[in-house]
Amino acid sequence: MTQIRSLSIQSVKAVAKDGIAGGETQAILETKIHAENLCMYYGSFRALVDVNFRAYANKITAIIGPSGCGKSTLLRTFNRMNDTVADTRIEGQVTLDGEDIYAPDVDPVAVRRRVGMVFQKPNPFPKSIYDNIAFGIKLYNPRMPKSELDARVEAALRGAAVWDDVKDKLKQPGTALSGGQQQRLCIARAIAVEPEVILMDEPCSSLDPISTLKIEELMVELKRDYTIIIVTHNMQQAARVSDYTAMMMMREDRAGEVIEFDETETIFTKPKDKRTEDYVTGRFG
């Protein structure tokens, strides 16, 4: 219960506002991503079992749970990144704005344009800061005039609150930046292609507290335009930034499942499941 007291003012407000709205207004929230009875297999190993999960538009949804419970795997089903691993398949369905993203005629490449991703370890391309951003833009408009490209690169970098750090060194390699700047560069790279959803896989786990704070503030900024789903090990972070939280656990057969999904405040203050309570209060295990 101590975690809830450390919420930043901003997120307390956000949580409070949603809290006032209460459960009954949930119906009018627009569902962006919806996983229904989702099972996911690596070969014969079942990694996810009967997952039901929702991410609402312009909300931050956190996925928490102990290590190895399938948080990242779940996150990667939302932009079909698991497809890059050989021999994976799913049962059930995942929809984006009601469209089945695993339908046979859907190309994962098209899904990923609408669902961007930021990874655990900052992974800027070993190219200039400018090219890091421009690469994504050029994928969708290879013949964009230089002036417009410049403007878009700047807009993306501003959007990820990293413009002031890099505006004088756009030609320098992105890998030369600090960890926090690299991660914001990666966020800028993701938003440059104008996705609807941004998936964040423990985006702050390799960053120091100040960089973490900046990313968290950025996330709250970004949810005005994007739907954000974040996997995190950091309970305070989930409490501080997210509007909704999904709690995942591992079954006996090591398959991950979502045991509770609710507004963040509810998860942290009045969890229905005993295991969630144990986990968020640090008594788990």
Residues numbered 68-87 forming contacts with other proteins, rule: CB under 8 A: 79, 81, 84, 86
* Pick 119 or 163: Cβ nearer other proteins: 119
**From the list 189, 214, 223, 240, which residue makes contact with other proteins (rule: CB under 8 A)?**
189
Which of the stretches 28-36, 113-121, 205-213, 270-278 binds other proteins when contact is defined by CB under 8 A?
113-121
**From the list 70, 136, 180, 256, which residue makes contact with other proteins (rule: CB under 8 A)?**
136
Strands (E), the chain: 31-42, 45-56, 60-64, 88-96, 99-100, 115-118, 197-201, 227-231, 244-250, 256-263
CB of 237 closer than 8 Å to CB of 53: no
Nearest to 62 by CA among 281, 260, 247, 273: 247
The CA R_g of the chain, rounded to the nearest whole Å, is 19
**From the list 54, 127, 169, 275, which residue makes contact with other proteins (rule: CB under 8 A)?**
127
> Least distance in Å: CB of 209 to other proteins?
23
Q: Token pair for residue 33?
A: 């991503």
Contact between 140 and other proteins (CB under 8 A)? yes
User: Which residues are CB-contacts of 8 (< 8 A; sequence separation ≥ 6)?
Assistant: 216, 240
Q: Token pair for residue 279?
A: 């986990």
**From the list 19, 66, 173, 179, which residue makes contact with other proteins (rule: CB under 8 A)?**
173
Residues numbered 2-61 forming contacts with other proteins, rule: CB under 8 A: none
What DSSP assignment string belongs to 241-278? H-SEEEEEEE-TTS-EEEEEEEEHHHHHHS-SSHHHHH
**From the list 51, 63, 190, 249, which residue makes contact with other proteins (rule: CB under 8 A)?**
190
* Binding-site ranges for other proteins (CB under 8 A): 79, 81, 84, 86, 109-110, 112-113, 116-117, 119, 121, 123-127, 135-136, 139-140, 173, 186, 189-190, 193
